[in-house]
A and B are shown apart, each in its own frame.
Chain A
Amino acid sequence: VNAGLDCPLPFGDYTNVVLGHGSGGRLSHALVEGLLLPALGLDPNATLEDQAILDPLAGRPAITTDSFVVSPLFFPGGDIGSLAVYGSVNDLAVGGAVPRFLSLALIVEEGLAIDTLRRVAASIRAACSRSGVRLVTGDTKVVERGKADGLYVTTTAIGVVPPGRRLSAANARPGDRVIVSGPIGDHGIAVLSKREGLALETELVSDSAPVHGLVLSALEVEPEIRCLRDPTRGGLSSALNEIARASRVGIRLDERAVPVRPAVRGACELFGFDPLYVACEGRVVAIVPARSAERVLETMQRRELGQEAAIIGEVVAEHPGVVTERSVVGGERVVSLLSGEQLPRIC
């Protein structure tokens, strides 16, 4: 009757997760059936099998997996739950796949507040519904205090690629344009500022969001889009370097065209970071034939997630494998891959 968010305590007096919640015994069942399933919007009375059996897919199946270890668990604009759903959904989307099913694994540290777990589960539920994926299987483990950082989440997503669609990092050709779907670095800086207690002039919110709708609408106006990437860890720089190497082309960016919010720029100046290396969790970078670049751009800009999309550069035949940028004052530099770690754990 009251399955869902408004069902606070059908499962004992625990306010924090204990090792017994991972024992496989009565407490485990209480955690799964009393808390997780209702919070995830699933029927706690359904028979739980060891596997999910899926209906056949109308196209080539696509599968991706990703683990999420972000600290803090909650940050402006999102949390580890929604991030874990969108992360895998987006990895499917940039392959041109329509996301369908999700698997979820939780590694919970002993002592985590039950309420935290409930909030994350509710967020996962909302994110699945926004992304149009169905959660079909999952697992929960509890580890001793000190052996994990509160909560780790792993998701695996399955989607379907319509016939004829072939996106690949190796497809970029000289003359193509580079489009980014919105300002870069919001996620990385939002997480960092929350973690460091940094007061920015304007509150910065993570861009964490599912991009499959944006991607599919772009593919509708230009099925010949060469390649799509979501610039997460390593930022725009890593995504473009991978494309330049795989396609054996050069990429030339114009720093003045790359959208970066003032708060992100400010924080980057403060910490000595370069926005090109800061993670996004709801952006796409697209390599698009020159003839349709404006049309793809306009299509993206009509959608909420793509309002601030911009053409930021082009693919060139010179310097294959190398990304360069013309700076705001007109100088040239190479945008190389990040060495080591620029930011603390963010995804």
Chain B
Amino acid sequence: LKYLDEYRDAALAEKLVAAIRREAKRPWTLMEVCGGQTHSIVRFGVDTLLPSSIELVHGPGCPVCVTPLELVDRAQAIARTSGVVFCSFGDMLRVPGSNGDLARAKAEGADVRVVYSPLDALALARANPEREIVFFAVGFETTAPANALAVKLARERGVENFSVLVSHVLVPPAVRSIFAAPDNRVEALLGPGHVCTVMGTSAYELLASEIRVPIVITGFEPIDLLEGVLRAVRQLERGDCRVEVQYARAVTRAGSAASIAVVDEVFEVCARTWRGIGVIPNSGYRLRDAYAAHDAERRFDVSHLQTRESSSCISGQILRGVRKPTECREFGARCTPERPLGATMVSSEGACAAYFNYGRERRAARTLELVS
């Protein structure tokens, strides 16, 4: 783990902050795309180190947050089907659906299990041939290769009782839709380091030339983030809009060929609904027809479900960077991680949960009022 320390070095951080102060002549608004980056920024107080002229807004890159309500409800319905073992990453258990969350389904008797990898779910399927094992395949380009691999192996090995409920989304189309909106105010992007480690950077070169803003592919440690901000500010001050790779220790232009190949073999691009944002064309993956036998939505009849979204949740605007969590009337009041109204309050990568857990503005102010 020692390698991490150099990316958390206080003296280096101070130097970078000084350089940002020196070079930023005008106010700029930057968006970090990834939920992991948002978490790290708030966890280490990176934004509290920046001059007030540099504003960081938080992007759509939290897979738990953008999984649409329809799929959360379908997951619940499948999980409550007798004979099913429903496997999921832990974060998804507490995402509110129309009628409670998966944790409640579990408490009421559904067999819901937390796994750390789709391959664990596949192993469970082989060990329990009499049960139906369903894995909730959520995520961005980062989780797609492992999920694709699990489905590929299931077909090759004839594991018929294994299926996946797919909710895969892609970063570039989401960014495009944010920039197409009239209320967009983002002027530069800190690009998703992990996504580019898998997929490479060529899609972002195309993107930068289309939306005409600097994109700095950035890592997740405090020093990474500060360096990402500095490079973005330099480009902004010069009027550039290039793709730069700050996270060069992991990212190559071509990405991981093996990962891209397995994703391409199992998945095809399709339109996806993003929670809080709406339908974005070509913004996600579904299983190719050759793998239809492992598609949970074909195996279980869940298309008839009616969804009901909380009317006061503004997670859509938060995911597009238009508003901040503390600008929501419900933040910290009716909406908390214990009783989330929307998904951005659930995952540790969700902007609202990060703000709440690390006690930003309003909550600190409220506590002060309560105590004094």
Contacts and interface: CB of A to CB of B under 8 A. Distances in A.
Contact of A333 (B4, B44, B94, B336): B44
B311 interface: no
Contacts of B14: 330
A107 to B, nearest CB: 21
A319 B8 contact: no
Contacts of B337: 339-340
A269 to B, nearest CB: 7
A319 B368 contact: yes
A248 interface: yes
B357 A339 contact: yes
B72 to A, nearest CB: 17
A333 B358 contact: yes
B10 A328 contact: yes
Contact of B359 (A248, A269, A322): A322
Contact of B9 (A248, A262, A329, A336): A329
Interface residues of A, number: 28
B222 interface: yes
Interface in B315-345: 336-338
A259 interface: no
B356 A331 contact: no
Interface of chain A, main secondary structure: loop
Interface in B349-367: 353, 356-360, 363-364, 367
Nearest to A339: B337
A331 B46 contact: yes
Nearest to B368: A319
A334 interface: yes
A333 B43 contact: yes
Nearest to A320: B371
B13 interface: yes
Q: Tell which of A265, A333, A340 has the most Cβ of chain B within 10 Å.
A: A333
Contacts, number: 89
A265 B4 CA distance: 10
A279 to B, nearest CB: 18
A272 interface: yes
Interface in B192-231: 222-223, 226
B13 to A, nearest CB: 4
Contacts of B371: 245, 248, 320-321
Contact of B48 (A269, A274, A331): A331
A333 B46 CA distance: 10
Contacts of B44: 327-329, 331, 333
A332 B368 contact: no
A332 B367 contact: no
Given A322-B367, A329-B8, A330-B13, A336 B43 contact: no
Nearest to A326: B45
Q: Tell which of B10, B94, B222, B360 has the most Cβ of chain A within 10 Å.
A: B10
Contacts of A256: 10
A136 B371 CA distance: 44
Contacts of A41: none
B264 interface: no
Q: Tell which of A256, A329, A334 has the most Cβ of chain B within 10 Å.
A: A329
Interface in A297-346: 319-322, 324, 326-336, 339-340
Nearest to A271: B116
A194 B282 CA distance: 43
B47 interface: yes
Contacts of A272: 348
A76 interface: no
B137 interface: no
Given A320-B368, A329-B223, A333-B42, A266 B358 contact: no
B127 interface: no
Contacts of A266: 1
Contact of A329 (B1, B46, B348, B367): B46
A262 B2 contact: yes
Q: Tell which of A320, A327, A332 has the most Cβ of chain B within 10 Å.
A: A327
Contacts of B47: 331
Given A262-B1, A334-B364, 4 more contacts: A245-B371, A328-B222, A331-B49, A336-B357
Interface of B: 1-2, 4, 8-10, 13-14, 42-49, 94, 116, 222-223, 226, 336-338, 348, 353, 356-360, 363-364, 367-368, 370-372
10 A-B pairs closest in CB distance: A331-B45, A334-B359, A339-B337, A329-B13, A266-B1, A329-B222, A327-B44, A321-B371, A333-B358, A320-B371
Interface of A: 196, 245, 248, 256, 262, 265-266, 269, 272, 274, 319-322, 324, 326-336, 339-340
27 contacts: A245-B371, A256-B10, A262-B1, A266-B1, A272-B348, A274-B43, A319-B367, A319-B368, A320-B371, A320-B372, A321-B367, A321-B370, A322-B368, A326-B45, A329-B49, A329-B226, A330-B13, A330-B14, A331-B46, A331-B49, A332-B45, A333-B43, A333-B44, A334-B359, A336-B359, A339-B353, A340-B338
